[in-house]
Amino acid sequence: MPSANPAAMDFLLSRRSRPAKTLRPPVPSATQLAPLLQAAARTPDHGKLEPWRFMVIEKPAMGRLADIAEACSRALGLEQEQIAKGRSQFDQGHLAVAVIEVQKRSEKIPALEQTYSAGAVCLALLNAALAAGWGANWLSGWPSHDRIFMQDALGLEPHERIAGLIHIGTETTAPPERPRPDVDSITTWVSR
Ligand SMILES: Cc1cc2nc3c(=O)[nH]c(=O)nc-3n(C[C@H](O)[C@H](O)[C@H](O)COP(=O)(O)O)c2cc1C
């Protein structure tokens, strides 16, 4: 039996995101970000395909991404509210890590398992950032699902996509606790 790690359990039982719009500088430096990325890359990955990579989006790039989100939304004929939503996470962001799902050809490993692994990387990075004392939030937003945005903003290839945008910064206000699921009601024990 592995030895217990009560600090890790306490963290996992109390962890919660900090809304991206409440995050401020300072943001992690490259040195501070390195162990967070290391922790995120230590994620279950069937077949060791590494079906993911990271792009660190720094403040000077945020305006360009916001402009591309707006151009995409105009091309799609979206309403003003959606245009503003598409821009806002980049206009307001100070540092975000885009977790990029990179689908690898495999006879053995289904594409869906690679997608699950990329999602797990997002949570691992979020948790590592929170555990290190940063405020962090996993966002998507419609641009992260838009092929033209992925291509024009981040240069993604057709076999790549944004799994999540993990905003990391300094917490200003702690959010109220979010209602959590009643675990008993979503758990079934299969005994025979
Ligand atoms: C895939 C995914 C995408 C999300 N995208 C957004 C988003 O675009 N905007 C938003 O306000 N919350 C979004 N959320 C929810 C936030 O991450 C939210 O803060 C979170 O569910 C609270 O999580 P916590 O359990 O860490 O407190 C997303 C969550 C996931 C899993």
CA of 138 to the centre of ligand 1 (A): 5
pLDDT at 38: 98
**82-123 per-position pLDDT tens digit:** 999 999 999 999 999 999 999 999 999 999 999 999 999 999
C-alpha distances out from residue 71 to 85, 88, 140, 152, 169, Å? 13, 14, 18, 10, 27
CA of 107 to the centre of ligand 1 (A): 33
CA of 131 to the centre of ligand 1 (A): 17
Residues with Cβ within 8 Å of 149's Cβ and at least 6 positions away in sequence, in order, are 68, 69, 72, 143
Residue of 93, 133, 113, 97 lying closest to 44 (CA atoms): 113
pLDDT at 2: 86
pLDDT at 3: 95
Is 28 a pocket residue for ligand 1 (Cβ < 6 Å)? no
Is 140 a pocket residue for ligand 1 (Cβ < 6 Å)? yes
- Counting as low any pLDDT under 70, the low residues of the chain are none
Q: Identity (one letter) of the amino acid at 157?
A: E
19 Cα nearest atom in ligand 1: 19
CA of 81 to the centre of ligand 1 (A): 19
C-alpha distances out from residue 120 to 72, 123, 125, 159, Å? 28, 5, 9, 19
Is 43 a pocket residue for ligand 1 (Cβ < 6 Å)? no
Tokens of 178: 């979010």
H runs (alpha helix) in 29-162: 30-41, 59-75, 80-92, 111-131, 147-154
Residues with Cβ within 8 Å of 33's Cβ and at least 6 positions away in sequence, in order, are 56, 97, 168
Peptide bond into 143 cis (omega under 30): no
Residue nearest to atom 31 of ligand 1 (CA): 138
pLDDT at 85: 93
Full set of structural domains in the chain with CATH: 17-173 (3.40.109.10)
Tokens of 55: 């792009």
pLDDT at 129: 98
